[in-house]
Copies of this chain bind each other. A is one copy, B any other.
């Protein structure tokens, strides 16, 4: 290790230790902390966050980073060390661009915006939320302008925070292809409402039995319980302390079997990514998934491309029937497969099916783009939202609560975040296509042999953590840059067949 990089390690160690503490508190608060704990506990969390910030943002680290990015010094570093410097440097440049007093004012604003949004959503009262949203938007645009390069669209800066390498140019092409190919498909599917029977999924399913089947599913796809654990929370999520401690939560509803089943496969996909990070980098700043889109590609690959396929359920559907004999005895594998792939336009993003989901994202993407180009005021947003839902999905939200107020993201200042959700699905389809070429994918699934799939993804994606970037890994693995065509082909083929179109 170079002397210069060595001088950085105490700061990296301290930031790792403090971020671990913040992770464990966050997990604990979402899963088991008692109801009245948070007020006191949040004092500790606030203090630790401050320590965490100070561990990396200080004059000494700044000086070291400056030196370590000089070509003479940089070339002495290992591949992983260079990646660490790249990641830290990006954070630094973003922070350094924003005057501290503005950053502080912005943080105070978003803290206060969240409860305003929550109230507005509860009361279906967009007007009460519009003023604070307007302020959040103003800050986000101002911050983006600080680091915007000559000729770069302002929205590109926001996108870059979540998905390095993905720009408005790429996303415009992506969504334009989606629109052209899938709007007519969605219309046709909507016309065949009732074509697929789904009522049996809403019967009474014992929760303890659901839990035990979900545990089986996680193990089946390869979740390692020696290096991970399960919890329950309001909304399912995955979190990771390091590659030997990766945690999944789930939520169980008595009458929604498919919710728990596909949530656990989805979160297991995230978890396999984190469990697959190489030991050598696990405790460093590059020891986690490389981007939100790539992370989401892994969860959706497992949930949708594998988990909602006939081949996946062929060897294990009988086990599900045995777990719930009264509910599923009369339901064939084919019927089950069709039910869990049922599609229909709906209003709420988080409850959307695989086919209509990307439209929820496209709508938000288009609105964010208009916000960043300055062509729209906050007061126009609800109408714009509703028009787009009508145009793409053929439905109109009866209230803003079921419309523009449904997501917390904007209240939290997360602009540029939504596209990653759709990118995840598209990348998953591209990876699926590639895997089907390099291995007998369907045969593996039918033979209950998921190990080669997991090993391949670990070899080409998981182990690198943030040491490689999304498009770079796609290129090296598939021989091709990001390409949305596979996603469109996948959805078109799957849903044309399912709905006999």
Contact = CB atoms under 8 A, between A and B. Distances in A.
Nearest to A241: B41
A66 interface: no
Contacts of A25: 21, 24
Interface stretch (A136-144, A150-158, A220-228, A462-470): A220-228
B36 A226 contact: yes
Interface stretch (A11-19, A178-186, A259-267): A11-19
B47 A13 contact: yes
Given A24-B25, A25-B21, A28-B28, A245 B47 contact: no
Given A28-B28, A39-B244, A21 B44 contact: yes
Contacts of A17: 43-45, 47-48, 51
A360 to B, nearest CB: 35
Nearest to A14: B47
**Tier of interface size on chain A:** 35 or more
A245 B21 contact: no
A21 B48 contact: yes
A33 B283 contact: no
Contacts of A13: 43, 47
A373 B13 CA distance: 45
Contacts of A20: 41, 44
Interface string A1-37: 0000000000001101110110011001000111111
A282 interface: yes
Nearest to A40: B242
A229 interface: yes
Given A21-B21, A24-B25, A282 B40 contact: yes
B283 A36 contact: no
Contacts of A231: 32
Contacts of A40: 241-245, 282-283
A24 B35 contact: no
A43 B228 CA distance: 18
Interface string A201-244: 00000000000000000000000011111010000000001111
Given A20-B44, A21-B48, A43-B283, A245 B37 contact: yes
Contacts of A47: 13-14, 16-17
A225 B35 CA distance: 8
Contact of A36 (B32, B45, B244): B244
Interface in A253-287: 282-283
A228 B34 contact: yes
A209 to B, nearest CB: 14
Interface string A37-64: 1011101110110010000000000000
Nearest to A225: B34
A37 B228 CA distance: 8
B36 A227 contact: yes
Contact of A229 (B14, B34, B41, B43): B34
9 contacts: A21-B21, A21-B48, A24-B24, A28-B28, A33-B229, A34-B244, A36-B244, A41-B241, A43-B283
Given A32-B229, A34-B228, A36-B227, 6 more contacts: A13-B43, A14-B51, A20-B41, A21-B24, A24-B28, A34-B229
